[in-house]
Structure 1
Amino acid sequence: MRYHVIYDGNCNLCVTLVQVLENLDKGQLFDYISMQEEQALKNFGVTPQDCEMGMILIDAASPERRWQGSDAAEEIGNLLPAGNVFVSAYRALPGMKWMGDRVYEQVRDNRYSWFGKRSSTYKSAYPVGCNAASDCQS
């Protein structure tokens, strides 16, 4: 089963987290597309306005299954080896989900001022439709 991660390729924090996920997963479960690739996002029915609400995770086998924002981050955590233990513990603590959602919103809305903006858009080593960037180069 594969999942598409839609991330902000201009955000320093977002790119760092994508790179960590790339190193953990090595393109086995996740592939990536930046929010700046508007034409490619149309293939998934994702608009720039959708992207303003935060990262998006799409189930490649059932594209109608989608998560966004902190829900996407939690689902990615669930999919990682042993990650479900941490996500379940986080969700079990009273008020943590609510607080996590608020923190995510604050980071999302202030990501450029708090973490900086890249001068060029990051292109993942595991783009959508490829096992690695080298597989897709013409």
Structure 2
Amino acid sequence: MSNNYKIILFDGVCNLCNGAVTYIIKRDKKNVFKFAALQSEIGQQLISKFNIDTSKVDSIILIDGEKHYTKSSAALHIAKQLSGAYPLLFGFMIVPKFIRNSVYDYIAKNRYKWFGKKESCMIPTVELKSKFL
């Protein structure tokens, strides 16, 4: 696998996560990210490689070379790469992780209730297929 891009693992059946992926793709002007569902074969391989406990982290995970970020840290590292003013959000890294993650966990815990759930993983359109692993 090439290390030229960062990989975003996401919950493929979560409407909020799928919306976030679409949102990121539109703002990923430097073509930094590739995507894979946590439920996919490559998603499972990366979860196992990095020894990630998906009972604790089950929404968005960022793989950057040999490092991985979860929860709010993943979201802020992703924002840092997007076009526009999003990199400014990286300043929230100064907020203690337990505070950032409690907000993140609250949203993640309620994401199916608030945003719904799909029966199966999102199938990318032909033009977006190159963004998915």
Structures share fold, TM-score greater than 0.5: yes
**Gaps (5+ residues) in structure 2?**
none
In structure 1, the partner of 2:87 is: 84
Q: How far is the alpha carbon of 1:18 from its aligned partner?
A: 0.5
Conservation of the 8 A alpha-carbon contact between 2:5 and 2:34 = yes
Letter in 1 for 2:67: R
Shift of 1:26: 5.8
Could you say which residue in structure 2 is the equivalent of 1:101? 101
**How far off its partner does 1:120 sit?**
2.2
User: Cα RMSD over matched residues?
Assistant: 2.5
Give the Cα–Cα distance (whole angstroms) in 2 for the partners of residues 101 and 49 of structure 1.
Answer: 16
Q: Does 1:32 align with 2:38?
A: no
Q: How far is 1:71 from its partner?
A: 0.6
Q: Which residue of the partner structure matches residue 135 of structure 1?
A: none
Q: What is the aligned length?
A: 121
Alignment of 1:1-138 (within 5 A): 1-25=4-28, 28-37=31-40, 39-44=41-46, 45=49, 49-50=53-54, 52-53=56-57, 54-59=59-64, 62=65, 64-81=66-83, 82-88=85-91, 90-92=92-94, 98-124=98-124, 125=128, 126-128=131-133
% identity of equivalent residues? 27
TM-score, with length taken from structure 2: 0.76
CA gap 1:51/1:79 in 2 versus in 1, 3 angstroms: farther
The amino acid of 2:79's aligned partner reads: G
TM-score, structure 1 normalization = 0.73
How much has 1:99 moved relative to structure 2?
3.6
Q: 1:83 to 1:117 in 2, by over 3 A?
A: same
Structure 1, unaligned runs of 5 or more: 129-138
Deviation at 1:47, TM superposition (A): 6.4
Residue 133 of structure 1 is matched in structure 2 by none
> What secondary structure is seen at the aligned counterpart in 2 of 1:19?
helix
